[in-house]
Amino acid sequence: MRLAGKVAIVTGAGGGIGQATCIKFAKEGAKVVAADISLERAQETINLVREGGGEGVAARVDVRDSESIATMVQGVVGQYGRVDVLVNNAGIVKDSTLKNMTEEQFDDVIEINLKGVYNCAKGVIETMLAQGSGVILNTSSVVGLYGNFGQTNYAASKFGVIGMTKTWSRELGRKGIRVNAICPGFVSTPILMKMPEKVIKSIEERVPMGRLARPEEVANLFCFLASDEASYINGAAIEVTGGLTL
């Protein structure tokens, strides 16, 4: 198994890409910590992990709160002795055009999508440095590469995630820690599926593959990047878009 013996923390694990990543990691032998603002949803993910024969625990974490993160990391290290992988996946959208966007909408998205990634990485870095090994994987977006109408706040946060990824890969690569980002396109998650059917259909028509991504397809890439098979991949921002940007 690709991740046998590894301990992985996944934020935003209560559904969508985060949940699929927890399930995939567990199937590949990792001990999984499903972290989410909703403990109930995190526990639902761990229930699915255990149903598949995997091992893991749920944790309530607010990525805006460094104390919340520190408590989780202390618990993980106390239980498992290490942290091998951090998947920064927690995120929100609050879309609006620049003219109509409120300061609250802008700040909320930056606080969770950008500073939350910083907070979680900061929370695990001492442990990884002491181990001399680790992998940090950040969920950016195709919007973090090309921007998107009505997403000033989201685009800023996801561009920033790529910037932090590349900076950390320079700082930490020589210390045995790899840092990479994944840039999904349109994925069939609960947030996206709230859109009107005609909007979803128009999105599918823009994708050369003719469909949305499945969360599991993004999780598969996270698994590869977390594994030793990706031992020389560092500082990358990899698209998973079905060819959307061609």
pLDDT, one tens digit per residue, over 223-233 is: 999 999 999 99
68-76 contact pairs (CB < 8 A, 24+) = 69/119, 69/120, 69/122, 69/123, 70/123, 72/9, 72/33, 72/35, 72/123, 73/9, 73/123, 73/124, 73/127, 76/7, 76/9, 76/33
Q: How many helices (H) and strands (E) does the chain have?
A: 9, 7
The pLDDT of 137-157, averaged and rounded, is: 96
For residue 192, is pLDDT > 80?
no
For residue 138, is pLDDT > 80?
yes
The pTM is what? 0.96
Name the fold adopted by 7-240: Rossmann fold (3.40.50)
Query: What DSSP designation does 5 have?
Result: T
For residue 80, is pLDDT > 80?
yes
Q: Would you say 218 and 142 are in contact if contact means Cβ atoms under 8 Å apart? A: no
Residue with tokens 């032998």: 29
* CA separation for the pair 233, 231 (Å, rounded): 6
For the question of residue 80 being annotated catalytic, the response is: no
The pLDDT of 124-131, averaged and rounded, is: 98
* pLDDT score of 199: 80
pLDDT in tens, 52-79: 999 999 999 999 999 999 999 999 999 9
pLDDT in tens, 113-127: 999 999 999 999 999
* Mean pLDDT score of the chain: 96
* Half-sphere exposure for 182 (CA within 13 Å, toward CB): 26
Round to the nearest angstrom and report the end-to-end CA distance of the chain.
34
* pLDDT score of 202: 85
Q: Which of 118, 146, 154, 232 is catalytic?
A: 154
Q: How confident is the model at residue 190 (pLDDT cuts 50, 70, 90)?
A: confident
- Domains of the chain: which residue ranges? 7-240
